[in-house]
Amino acid sequence: QVQLVESGGGVVQPGRSLRLSCAASGISLSDYGMHWVRQAPGKGLEWVAVIWYDGSKKFYADSVKGRFTISRDNSKNTLYLQMNSLRAEDTAVYYCARGEYYETRQDLDYWGQGTLVTVSS
Amino acid sequence: DIQMTQSPSSLSASVGDRVTITCRASQDISNSLAWFQQKPGKAPKSLIYAASSFQSGVPSKFSGSGSGTDFTLTISSLQPEDFATYYCQQYNSYPYTFGQGTKLEIK
């Protein structure tokens, strides 16, 4: 059974940093691009970032570019999101999701349950 | 960036009804469109990919159509468990973008 489990969320002050993790079981992440998607309280879904299966390419939403870094450790079957210079508007539930099969674009078919990040003083 | 516009933003319907949600892309995305269902406090669930293909385990009451810029999701014979928020999403190019969502409520 495929499972993606996010962790690392919590309450953090503006300007501080946080690192999220997404651990996979039942699948090998090394064949797939992996994404982060977030959802602010009461709002819609916002795509955040993607990293290709081998880590060779990364793309970010303009809203997080220069502040967030997506990475992966295929030996640990784990995805990460390093979030620096956090702002109140980064408050959201953060989901990881599986995407591209190697370099072939495909939909986000498996999602984790999400981890809540609250940026507040 | 490709803008995705869903309509309506909310919809009231009764059990047994058939409803249609539309999604328009600001440029041609071929068939690189997915539909998701989300219930309160839960992660989105993938329903449809490639505009009209079912994810494994998704009942045939959900159907998708369209290509290019105009797409639809139709849900037939609504049941209580179908009342949720639905999102479209394009995966033709980065940044991937979502529609603003359609909240389907019981009348």
Q: Is the pLDDT at A105 greater than 90, yes or no?
A: no
Q: Is B75 left (phi over 0), alpha (psi -120 to 50) or beta?
A: beta
Q: CA-CA distance, A37 to A92, in Å (whole number)?
A: 10
When pLDDT is averaged across residues A75-102 and rounded to a whole number, the result is 97
CB of B30 within 8 Å of a chain A CB? The answer is: no
pLDDT of residue A91: 98
- Residues (pLDDT < 70) of chain B are none
* Residue B91 structure tokens: 């995966």
Taking only the tens place, the pLDDT of each residue in A7-52 is 999 999 999 999 999 999 998 899 999 999 999 999 999 999 999 9
B95/A62 touch (CB, cutoff 8 Å), yes or no: yes
Report residue A103's pLDDT band, with 50, 70 and 90 as the boundaries.
Answer: confident
pLDDT of residue A1: 86
B43/A47 touch (CB, cutoff 8 Å), yes or no: no
CB of A2 within 8 Å of a chain B CB? The answer is: no
Q: CA-CA distance, B31 to B92, in Å (whole number)?
A: 8
A107, A99 contact by CB (below 8 A): yes
Q: How far is A46 from chain B (nearest CA, A)?
A: 7
**Mutation for A interface: B10, B38, B93, B96, most A CBs within 10 A:** B96
Closest Cβ–Cβ partner in A35, A44, A60 for B87: A44
B43/A113 touch (CB, cutoff 8 Å), yes or no: yes
Q: How far is A2 from chain B (nearest CA, A)?
A: 13
Q: How far is B77 from chain A (nearest CA, A)?
A: 25
A105/B32 touch (CB, cutoff 8 Å), yes or no: yes
pLDDT of residue B29: 97
Q: CA-CA distance, A76 to A89, in Å (whole number)?
A: 31
Q: How far is B87 from chain A (nearest CA, A)?
A: 8
List chain A residues with CB under 8 Å of B50.
Answer: 107
Taking only the tens place, the pLDDT of each residue in B78-100 is 999 999 999 999 999 999 999 99
Beta strands, E only, B1-107: 4-7, 10-13, 19-25, 33-38, 45-49, 53-54, 62-67, 70-75, 85-90, 97-98, 102-106
Provide CB contacts within 8 A for B81, sequence distance 6+.
Answer: none
Residue type, B4: M
B70, A26 contact by CB (below 8 A): no
Q: Long-range contacts for B40-44 (Cβ within 8 Å, ≥24 apart)?
A: B42/A113, B43/A95, B43/A111, B43/A112, B43/A113, B43/A114, B44/A37, B44/A45, B44/A95, B44/A108, B44/A111, B44/B87
Taking only the tens place, the pLDDT of each residue in A54-88 is 999 999 999 999 999 999 999 999 999 999 999 99
